Amino acid sequence: MIVVDLLCASAHRFEGWFPSAEALEAQLAQGAVRCPLCGSAEVRRLPSAPYVHTGERGADTPEPSPPAPAPATVAPDPQRLAQLWQTLRALGRQAEDVGVRFPEEARRIHRGEADARPIRGQSSTEEFLSLLEEGIEVLPLPPLDEEMH
């Protein structure tokens, strides 16, 4: 069993557990790994030292302490989630679609070189993270016409 860090095209970072490195690569190639936040199948493995569970403890390994009890979780209200997606889609439709020029246009608006207005478009994960580092507030969202399940 290996545990690896993954990143989707919308810059959502999450953890994945796989029976082996080969199983991880096969599932990524098939598009079977999806982001738990946005459902994107465009997922890549982040550089990390994977945790490999062998099922055995070495002689020096202390007995693990019992896990803390998991906090009670409440399932999100489906009606409120539907309202949220409806609102986000409405806001997205009202925004100007600047396409792949999104990072450039967001910077121009941030610097006051272009009129302030709502925009939407595409950017790579690296461009998205760069905008955040520059103090430009952006929010990754799935395409407007994509159904969330």
* Residue range 33-49, pLDDT digits in tens: 998 888 889 999 988 76
84 in a structural domain: yes
Would you say residue 58 has pLDDT above 80? no
92 in a structural domain: yes
- The residue out of 13, 36, 52 marking a domain boundary is 52
Write a three-state SS string for the chain.
CEEEEEEECCCCEEEEEECCHHHHHHHHHHCCCCCCCCCCCCEEECCCCCEECCCCCCCCCCCCCCCCCCCCCCCCCHHHHHHHHHHHHHHHHHCEEEECCHHHHHHHHHCCCCCCCCEEECCCHHHHHHHHHCCCCCCCCCCCCCCCC
Note down the domain range covering 24.
2-52
64 in a structural domain: no
Hey, what's the torsion of the CAs at 112, 116, 121, 124, to 10 degrees? 30
107 in a structural domain: yes
Same domain, 83 and 47: no
Assign 127 a pLDDT band (cuts: 50, 70, 90): very high
142 in a structural domain: no
Whole-number pLDDT of residue 102: 96
Q: Give the residue-averaged pLDDT of 70-82.
A: 77
Same domain, 129 and 88: yes
- Could you tell me which residue, 86 or 62, shows the higher pLDDT? 86
- The residue out of 35, 52, 69 marking a domain boundary is 52
Whole-number pLDDT of residue 91: 87
63 in a structural domain: no
Would you say residue 148 has pLDDT above 90? no
Output the six-digit token pair for 80.
Answer: 């409120």
Assign 84 a pLDDT band (cuts: 50, 70, 90): confident
Same domain, 123 and 82: yes
Assign 50 a pLDDT band (cuts: 50, 70, 90): low
Structurally, the chain folds into a number of domains equal to: 2
44 in a structural domain: yes
- Could you tell me which residue, 54 or 50, shows the higher pLDDT? 54
Would you say residue 59 has pLDDT above 70? no
